[in-house]
Amino acid sequence: MSLPDFKSPRKQSAEPVQQQSSVIQLNVGGWFFTTTISTLRKFPTSRLAEMFTGPLKLVKDKEGRFFIDRDGTHFGAVLDYLRTEEVPTKNLVEVHKEAVYYDLKPLVKLLEDTPHFFGETMGRKQFLSRVRNYHENLEVIIRVARAEAMASRYSTIIMCILKTEEDLAKYNDTMVNVDHKKESIVTFGPWNGPVTVEDLFFCIKKDIEARGYQVSLESYITDKGFWYKSHNFFHSLLFTWW
């Protein structure tokens, strides 16, 4: 009498590959999306396609959605591109960061070719690289403003903008041997290039507001006589807290 066929128990394997047309639910860092496997595999060599090729190793949330542990704020723009191949028009820098993460090379290139992205990454950043200690100065401004915000609706930071070496020399001549109240002054410049002081103001305001702060720029007004010769170097950056 022959023995019945015996099948040894197997370890449960990862979830099998789903059909190209399969509709799946995604949870990307708490943002929910519905799409198809074929959309996610649009570019087979991308990291995103790899996530949904072969046995699926992604965990699921309690609702059964595939979970990607990444901020999903701009994933919708990535998904729209995969569906339509139309280049996003908003938040290009942020979408570019996601395209790089998911290794979507065609989208990365298209974004880098847009006028806005080119201007932001090549124009503005190249200019700021010429302004000595620009990013360090922003950190100082924010730190001082927060320190002065106790029980106050506003903080005022004084900035000194010196575009040229001549401006620096005039500033030094004005400040030498002058008995004045010590104030927190953050100095920018000098720098080389055609970009104006107004352009620098734009960058300072843009970069600080990008971190969630509400700020406004004004000329600094003082009644101290020794500042009259150089008052145009000084400007107020007003933080509004509430």
- pLDDT for 225: 52
Those residues whose C-beta lies under 8 Å from the C-beta of residue 229, and which sit 6 or more positions away, are 170, 174
56 vs 232: CA distance, rounded Å: 63
In angstroms, the CA 216 to CA 238 distance is: 5
**pTM value?**
0.63
Is residue 157 helix, strand or coil?
A: strand
- How far apart, in whole angstroms, are the C-alpha atoms of residue 138 and residue 83? 40
Q: What is the pLDDT along the chain (242 residues), one digit of tens a residue?
A: 444 444 444 444 455 555 656 899 999 999 999 999 999 999 999 999 999 998 877 899 999 999 999 999 999 999 999 999 999 999 998 999 999 999 999 999 999 999 988 887 778 888 888 898 999 999 999 999 999 888 789 999 989 889 888 888 887 776 654 444 445 689 998 988 888 889 999 999 999 998 999 999 887 765 555 444 445 788 899 999 99
Question: What pLDDT does 228 receive?
Answer: 47
Max Cα–Cα distance, the chain, nearest Å: 115
128-177 pLDDT, tens digit each = 888 989 999 999 999 999 998 887 899 999 898 898 888 888 877 766 54
Spatial separation of the C-alpha atoms in residues 192 and 143, rounded to whole Å: 28
Prior bond to 4 cis, omega within 30? Answer: no
**What residue spans define the domains of the chain?**
23-125, 134-240
Burial zone of 52 (CB within 10 Å; 0-12 exposed, 13-18 middle, 19+ buried): buried
CB 241 within 8 A of CB 150: no
CATH superfamily of 23-125: Potassium Channel Kv1.1; Chain A (3.30.710.10)
Look up tokens 């720029």; give the residue. 217
